[in-house]
Amino acid sequence: MSASPKFGGATKGRGAVSNQDGRFERLTREAVDDGWCDDVDLPPLRTQVLPDTARKVIARNTSPDIPFDRSLNPYRGCEHGCVYCFARPSHAYLGLSPGLDFETKLFAKHDAAALLRAELSARSYRCQTLQLGANTDPYQPIERRLGITRGVLEVLSACDHPVSITTKSDLVLRDLDILAPMAAKGLASVAVSVTTLDRGLARRLEPRAPTAAKRLRAIAGLAGAGVPVTVLAAPMIPALNDMELDAIIAEAAAAGATAAGYVLLRLPGEVAGLFREWLEAHYPDRAERVLSRLKASRAGALYRAEWGARHTGTGIEAQLLAARFKAALKRAGLDRARSGSRPMRTDLFRPPVPPSAQMSLF
């Protein structure tokens, strides 16, 4: 394990506490505090953006508990720095750490729009809703400068292809000029993740993500423009933010959300160790309680990946959370399916026309 500044102490503006090696590395390193470096200030970690040279951008999945079969992620890694992010282990495939590397060494698919246009043009392509933000946030801070997500939306809009977006950023409002007309045709919806209403907890848990207030304003802005919005109270962490479930749903419904969902904290791969380090650094007084209650919701383990239960858990703890969620939906008036959950249209899709193609006379 290669440690972060201050030998395992929290790094300002970053979520992970360490830069532990990925599971595929042959060698691992472990930093040891010998007491001589307490007053040494290491330089701040800078965000690096590298090119992603993928040949295709549409990823496919056959998971029975995921409501889409295709997705597109404009970026690998995420500067929001959410310590709980289930996508962190994917950085190990790149020979990088799921820890601090995941939030400081980012990969951008600069040609995503062109690659998407080519894939949608294939004769074998069959239209279904495309999910943006299934792995990392398509509206993380570097999107403001690079505009890759906007380029993707322009391609989808031009060929009337349905899209669903998951984000925790109010930057999504920048693209209302694209999303609102698409939504009017039944081609766009957005899910906004709200983890906590506590700003102190948010600064530690997801240090570079927009505040809850900005996310609620994003919900209001989207709803006001006619874009169906779902709020995701995610992840719910026992003894840390699960007591906020009711308030999150109530605030989001008041802002205009028409549907809601929740996810129990998932700790796949290296995320379990990173989350434990984070708890010990920020909340040592309740670390064991959080982990104990999480295990009670995962049949004695920190994480279980079984289909159908990985998002909600099992046992009494998980059942109580599910019951509270159901009651919160009823109080907020979201207990009946409304426009936020309506299926999107696929019958309007028309393949992109290559720039050099001969136009038809008919």
CATH number of the CATH domain containing 282: 3.80.30.30
Question: Six-digit token pair at 153?
Answer: 């939306």
Question: Six-digit token pair at 61?
Answer: 């999945």
Per-residue confidence (pLDDT) for residue 90, from 0 to 100: 95
Residue 360 maps to a domain: no
Residue 14 maps to a domain: no
Per-residue confidence (pLDDT) for residue 343, from 0 to 100: 82
Domain extent for 190:
48-341
Dihedral, 47, 284, 261, 224 alpha carbons, nearest 10: -60
Per-residue confidence (pLDDT) for residue 5, from 0 to 100: 42
Note down pLDDT in tens along the chain; length 362 residues. 344 444 456 788 899 999 887 665 555 655 555 555 555 555 678 999 999 998 999 999 988 888 899 999 999 999 999 999 999 999 999 999 999 999 999 999 999 999 999 999 999 999 999 999 999 999 999 999 999 999 999 999 999 999 999 999 999 999 999 999 999 999 999 999 999 999 999 999 999 999 999 999 999 999 999 999 999 999 999 999 999 999 999 999 999 999 999 999 999 999 999 999 999 999 999 999 999 999 999 999 999 988 889 999 999 999 999 999 999 999 999 987 544 456 899 999 999 987 665 555 55
Per-residue confidence (pLDDT) for residue 99, from 0 to 100: 96
**Rounded Cα gap, residues 15 and 280, in angstroms:** 13
Q: Which alpha helices (DSSP H) does the chain contain, by range?
A: 5-8, 100-104, 112-121, 143-146, 148-158, 176-184, 199-205, 212-224, 245-255, 271-282, 287-296, 315-332
Per-residue confidence (pLDDT) for residue 357, from 0 to 100: 54
**Rounded Cα gap, residues 210 and 191, in angstroms:** 15
**Rounded Cα gap, residues 33 and 8, in angstroms:** 9
Per-residue confidence (pLDDT) for residue 247, from 0 to 100: 98
Residue 285 maps to a domain: yes
Per-residue confidence (pLDDT) for residue 325, from 0 to 100: 97
Per-residue confidence (pLDDT) for residue 4, from 0 to 100: 41
Dihedral, 288, 293, 298, 299 alpha carbons, nearest 10: 90
Left (φ > 0), alpha (ψ -120 to 50) or beta: where does 315 sit? left
Residue 359 maps to a domain: no
Q: How far is CA 182 from CA 13, 93, 303, 326, 360, in A?
A: 36, 36, 38, 31, 25
Per-residue confidence (pLDDT) for residue 7, from 0 to 100: 44
**Rounded Cα gap, residues 358 and 362, in angstroms:** 12
User: Strand, coil or helix: what is 339?
Assistant: helix
* Tally of domains within the chain: 1
Residue 270 maps to a domain: yes
* Matching residue, tokens 């109530």: 250
Longest alpha-carbon distance in the chain: 79
- Give the DSSP per-residue string, 10-36: PPTT-S-SEEPPPTT-S--------SS
How distant is the alpha carbon of residue 271 from its chain centre? 14
Q: What is the distance in angstroms between the CA of the first residue and the CA of the last residue of the chain?
A: 64
Residue 350 maps to a domain: no
**Rounded Cα gap, residues 62 and 48, in angstroms:** 33
Residue 4 maps to a domain: no
Residue 221 maps to a domain: yes
